[in-house]
């Protein structure tokens, strides 16, 4: 059985700023800090946070099962602002489990974050499909993080090394996010 669930979350932040976080190699480390009641830790098993990276997610025990699973970053597309993670709940009878995150520009200062979970599940495990949901929690956490770290003077690029005054990403997204992580969280 093939199925999917999807959620959309609209935010008053530019698509470039939101995508800077979603596309960052530091996202696994950041998301644990942004969602401490959900994630206990995320280990990078292989890779550097770019395409091909394999992570192991560990949820806080108060969450419903499963509490651990592996995922692989199979696509990070900066043109379409799409990130695809494959893996997930394969131990529960799913033969395909993908989380697809897309950041869609609405206008200069707003965007829509979509999360789509696509799955195939073996017939004898169809009841497990009811466990799948597509929540706004990660989108809301990322959006709140970007809003809280938005420069007071209107400069979007947090590294301040690029002298970007056009309210756009400087193009060195990972460098900029690293500057935020070092300054604000760690």
List 72, 75, 83, 105, catalytic entry:
83
Give the three-state DSSP class for 144. helix
**Residue reference for tokens 């979970």:** 117
Give the three-state DSSP class for 103. strand
Give dist(CA 186, CA 178) in Å, integer: 10
Residue 94: beta bridge partners? 121
Give dist(CA 31, CA 37) in Å, integer: 11
Asked whether 143 and 43 are in contact (CB, 8 A), the reply is: no
Give dist(CA 104, CA 110) in Å, integer: 9
Active site residue 83: yes
Sign of CA dihedral 173, 179, 184, 186: positive
The residues annotated with a catalytic role in the active site are 83
């Amino acid at each position: 059985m093939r199925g999917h669930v999807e959620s959309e979350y609209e935010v008053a932040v530019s698509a470039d700023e939101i995508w800077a976080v979603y596309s960052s190699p530091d996202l696994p480390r950041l998301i644990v800090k942004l969602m401490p009641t959900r994630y206990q830790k995320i280990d990078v098993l292989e890779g550097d946070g770019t395409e091909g990276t394999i992570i192991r997610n560990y949820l806080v025990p108060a969450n419903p099962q499963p509490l651990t699973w592996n995922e692989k970053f199979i696509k990070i597309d900066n043109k379409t602002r799409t990130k695809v993670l494959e893996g997930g709940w394969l131990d529960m009878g799913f033969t395909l489990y993908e989380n697809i995150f897309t950041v869609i520009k609405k206008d200069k200062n707003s965007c829509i974050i979509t999360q789509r979970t696509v799955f195939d599940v073996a017939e004898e495990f169809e009841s497990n499909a009811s466990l799948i949901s597509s929540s706004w929690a990660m989108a809301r956490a990322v959006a709140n993080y970007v809003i809280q770290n938005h420069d007071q003077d209107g400069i979007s690029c947090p590294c301040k090394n690029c002298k970007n005054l056009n309210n756009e990403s400087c193009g060195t997204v990972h460098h900029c996010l690293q500057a935020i992580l070092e300054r604000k969280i760690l």
